[in-house]
Structure formats: structure tokens, C-alpha cells
Structure 1
Amino acid sequence: MALRPVQVNIKAVDHAAVGRFWAEALGWSAYSGRTTYVGPAGGLVWPDPVVLGIDVVPVPQPKTAAKNRTHLDLATASAAHQAELVARLLALGATPADVGQGEVPWAVLADPEGNEFCVLEPREVYRDTGPIAAVVVDCADPRAMARFWGEATDWAPHEANDEFASLRSAGPYLEFLRVPGAKTTPDRVHLDLLPYPGDDNAAEVARLRALGATDLDIGQGDVPWTCLADPEGHEFCVLARS
């Protein structure tokens, strides 16, 4: 039994505008309705998406927390590509962000509603991930987070030490980066997971609870998905297939 990470959920006041930004950023298409789904051109492939997409969900409140504890890293193929992408994103409405990174070879930006992300310098490890290199989660214990998420999903361990751990299936990596300080506020970015065809949602949720996940009430009411938090409090959802 396992769950598939199928989309990165980003909260936004103007979901259509933020969705368009991310579609332009990734070279994908935006499909707007109740939310704005961002994925490769060619039409929606739900409920069996072939890539890790982005779902931009409307919320009434603007971002107020200092820094999201989950963010995206974007891949580039060359120094020229990195420079071109940064310039294009700034023209689309991104802004430079200072999260205490100091002098680094990557660019730290924020989308039009302040959600931080990085445009990486070219790295061989990300050459075949697609436009999203990694989903990066700030945490206190990378090894423990990798164990939980490795059990929760079918993504295989790639690297693990006291400062950094990563998992991967096809496409982007899921990375855990040790940072000081504990999570104190709800995040505006989280992962949504989906059972495989034929698997039982309730059984998968029970399995996650046994692994250390906890139930989460964020005011979602009666919805067909289940809101949970991992052992360090990072929100995520288990979606229903229908």
C-alpha cells in the first residue's frame, strides 16, 4: 500500500492569477474552475495525473507568515537559462525574497502573493526532473521525515543525513532540510496525496495514522478528502479518487 504525491497545493487570494503565474513559470497550462490546476498542456489527466502538478486554491486571507516551510525549487539547464528564467519570472510579477540565504548561487523569489521559491543554478542531479526540481520541506529531523514520507508514499530514499534527506519517484524530488525553530503556523503550501486505483482511502488514512500522522481541522468541514499532519505538523491531504 502506498500513496502518490499528485499535486502541490498553494493557497492564494486570487487563485486564477497565481495559477497563471505558475503556468508561465513552468511552461505549463492553467485550468481554472473552483480552483486553478497547473499542469502540462494537453488537458487534465485527473484522477491519474502523470506529473506532480500544482493546484492553486482560493482563500480569503493574504499570506502573513514570515516564510512557508514548504517551497518549490525550479530546475535550470545552464547559467544562461537560470538568468533568463529569473528575468522572465520577475517580469511576470515575482519579487526577490530574503530568507536569510546570504550569498548563494541560486535565486530566491516569491510568487505574486508572497510564496517563496528558488530558481536553482544548473545541477546534474536535477537534469531529468522536469521544470520542478524538488518540493522542499523545512524540518527539525530530516531522517525521521524521510522515514515517514517514504512509508507514506512509493517514493524511494535517495539520500539521508542529519541535515538533509530526499526521496524520489519519477519527476521532482521530495527533500527535507534541517532548519532551526519549530513549525508554529499553518502553511500556505502543502502536498496532496492520492491512493492508487483499487486501494481504499480509509485504509490508507488509517495506515498514515499508525505511522504518526494526526488528524487536522483547518475548518474544511464535510469534504471528500482527509486533512492530516505529518509528525512535525506539516499539513497534507489524502484525496478521494471520485
Structure 2
Amino acid sequence: MVGVRIAFVAALLVTAAFLKACGGGSVPREDRAEWRDRAEAQCMASGRVRKSSYVSQVSMISGPSSCGIRAPLKVSAALGGRVRITPTATIGCPVTASLDRWIHKSVQKAAYRQFGKPVVEIKQISSYSCRGRNGRKRGPLSEHSYGNAIDIAGFRLSDGRQITVVKGWWRGSRREKAFLRDVFAGACDEFYTVLGPGSDRHHYNHFHLDLLVTNVSKGRHYCRPKPRRGLFAEAGGLAADPVSTASIKPIPFTGPPD
């Protein structure tokens, strides 16, 4: 797992009252659930995420509302630095650990199975972002507001080939479709919420991955569309191009030119 234990665990544990709701602007008001800080502190204390040239701890992020990360990490690579994350993601410890496991257990295996080559870069289009779900001004905050989510839009193989969700999911080759469905199914094993093309109009161009504990029911995670590995029945079609849910100011990404 990603490189030398990040210090300051003791300080992390004694600030449990951090970030109660303080309101603010157009961001929905929400109290910070106790499990969030506990999960982050336990992850940091476990040593599952360690400081390295591609994982660094930065100053605590706070508000408005209950947005923020007590121990934010800047993550620019995974798997010992072998897989770049671009642009650098700002996420919490639990998502960092799960991202690394998913790449190791699912992404690389699917890449070798379908293409005989490893993934060397993953394109993300949203990490930390204080906002309502799908950019709404009312309702619950997005898991991005807590650094507890990441949106994945594409993958680059060691030979330079790029596979994007927006093009590959519906219109890619059989191998591209099989790869994307395999990694999506693997994400459903690792993350508590996984949304992709066909789930709704907002996720046509990326996989949304988060660790919202209330989406775990009897050991099952919330996954839409319901996955099965390899090529599976596809309902619906490519959605019209909506305002992306990637972030308040989305990072443009449509994949390589045809």
C-alpha cells in the first residue's frame, strides 16, 4: 500500500468534535455524522496509508456546512507509484486505501485479462468538492464534500491506449466494454456506493465511487447499474450531455480524439 506512516494520529484522535454544521452560502446545511471522523482516524492510525512522494498530508479542510477533511491527502499515484492519478486527488484516508486495493485487485487484473498490459494512469474528474449531491442546493451533501468519494473517467494503458467511460461503456470495442464492466463490478466489491452510465443522467461519463456507510445493507453495497463481470445486458443508451456532476467547476474530459 502507498508508502511511510503519516504522523499526527494523536492530534487526529483528540479533535473528534471538529466540523459541526456552521451553514454557509448555497451549500446544503448538514450535521457531520460521527462515523466520518472515526473512520478517518482509524484509517490513519492503521498505517494502511503511508506518506510518500505521491501521497502527502496537507492542512485540515473546513466548511462551509459540515464539509471538510480532518486529514486531507494529496494523492498523485497508487500501487507504489506505478499508477498515476491525474490530476492529483484530494481525498481522505479511507478512499485512498480503497482506491489502491481496487486498482490492485480489479483494475490491473482486468487490464491484463483484456489487453495483456497494465494500467499506468487513471483520470479522475472530482475528488474533494463542497456541494450538494449532483450539485443540488438542497438535500444531503455529496460524499465529495467529505473527501469520501472520487469520480473516475478514464484509464491509460502502458502502450498509451486510452479507455474512457464516456466512449468505451456504450460504444467501445468488446474488450473495452468488458474491461470497464469488470472494473465497475470490482468497484462494487470495494466501495459502498458505485454509480456509472445508465444509473441516472449525471453519471454518463464517469464512475462515482464512495464509502457512505449507510449504503451498506446486509453486506451488500449500493451499485447502479447492477453489475456482472464481462459483457452484460445494457439498458438504455448514452444520456444527453448534461451538466457534469464531477465538481462545482468540472474538469473537462471527453477522452482522446476519435
When normalised by structure 1's length, the TM-score is 0.28
Relative to total residues, which structure has the larger strand share, 1 or 2?
1
Relative to total residues, which structure has the larger helix share, 1 or 2?
2
When normalised by structure 2's length, the TM-score is 0.26
